[in-house]
Amino acid sequence: MHHVLRSTQYAIRHMHIIETIADFRRVRPQFGSLGLVPTMGYLHAGHLSLVQRAKAECGAAAVSIFVNPTQFAPHEDFNRYPRDMERDLGLLREIGTDLVFTPPMSEIYPPGFSTYVEVEGVTDTLEGAARPGHFRGVATVVCKLFTITQPTRAYFGQKDAQQCVVVKKMVRDLNLPLDVIICPTVREPDGLAMSSRNAYLTPEQRRAAPVLHRALSAAQQRYESGERNGDTLRATMQTVLHAEALAETQYVSAADPLTLRELDSVGTGGVLFSMAVRIGNTRLIDNLLIEGE
Ligand code: AMP
């Protein structure tokens, strides 16, 4: 009993929940090396894997929870994006998060806000082409979160492959003093990449959703058996997606992992297989990276 009580007390050590930039700046000096995990909340095991990695590699782990309006287009799901702050805080407390930054909208975008970060080139294709303005919103909020929280390292998921490329480029181009760490995509047992947006799926749509991962795996298999033609690899993914009646493909891609341009043929630079697929009203993305030599 005594032992159980002690370990429980250890697990519920203090977690700072901070809503303002001024408070974060006041608390920040108490921590040395800090790992930041930016999120939009409605946390799942993918997010938590990033926090665990931050905890393992840095003296302290901070998580931001902010549904960022500037990365959503007017017709997108900003208003209905799932939110459950109490549950999120419980999960973060359980795994021993040190700091949680939960700013209200007015803290990040006060009246008169008009400065944005535009990362050129790598935002022209894929998600950047399908969602104009998306990465301007992402880069802006991530840059602000970096300057507010001053992390030693920041952790991002490979699930959002283009976001990883964009954030790394911004950090390099603006000389931001931190390291960007990319963590593997966490999947459900049937292959579906974990995502807050999976909550939108009806049971029938949920059964159809692993088709993205099956399509990526098919392309990987073709690649591993020697196929290097870009069109053939893209067609392989498209064929698998086409067989699922509920899936409506927005794009499939076999691109250079650094420039994100479509490849005619895969060379020594490796290939990023990626796709965006609509299932009902829900837009899902997934990808698989084959690294260069
Ligand atoms: P979000 O809350 O969707 O903005 O995601 C916050 C961070 O978690 C981003 O860096 C995502 O790439 C990452 N992430 C989301 N889903 C997963 C997943 N299934 N596996 C690993 N990382 C993820």
pLDDT at 3: 46
Q: Can you identify the CATH homologous superfamily of domain 196-290?
A: Pantoate-beta-alanine ligase, C-terminal domain (3.30.1300.10)
Q: Which helix (H) or strand (E) holds 36?
A: strand 34-39
Sign, CA dihedral 112-40-47-135, equals negative
pLDDT at 8: 46
The mean pLDDT of 129-134, rounded to a whole number, is: 98
Q: How many CA atoms lie within 13 A of 96 on its CB side?
A: 13
**Residue spans per domain, the chain:** 2-183, 196-290
User: Ligand 1 atom 13: the closest Cα is on which residue?
Assistant: 157
Under 8 Å between Cβ of 230 and 254: yes
Cα radius of gyration (the chain): 20
Q: Is the CB of 39 under 6 A from ligand 1?
A: yes
Q: Is the CB of 152 under 6 A from ligand 1?
A: no
* Edge-to-edge order in the sheet of strand 247-255: 247-255, 270-279, 282-291
Q: What is the pLDDT of residues 211-229, one digit of tens each?
A: 999 999 999 999 999 999 9
Write the CA distances from 282 to 84, 195, 201, 238, 278, integer angstroms. Answer: 19, 11, 7, 18, 6
Quick check: 11 pLDDT over 60?
Answer: no
* d(CA 195, ligand 1 centre) in Å: 7
Strands 99-101, 153-157: pairing is: unpaired
Name the pLDDT band for 13 (thresholds 50, 70, 90).
low
Ligand 1 pocket: which of 39, 162, 213, 284 to mutate (most atoms <8 Å of CB)? 39
**Could you give the dihedral angle defined by the CA atoms of residues 241, 201, 186 and 228, in that order, rounded to the nearest 10 degrees?**
10
Quick check: 277 pLDDT over 80?
Answer: yes
Asked: is 2-183 a CATH 3.60.130.10 domain? The reply is: no
Name the pLDDT band for 6 (thresholds 50, 70, 90).
very low
pLDDT at 7: 46
Q: What is the mean pLDDT of the chain?
A: 96
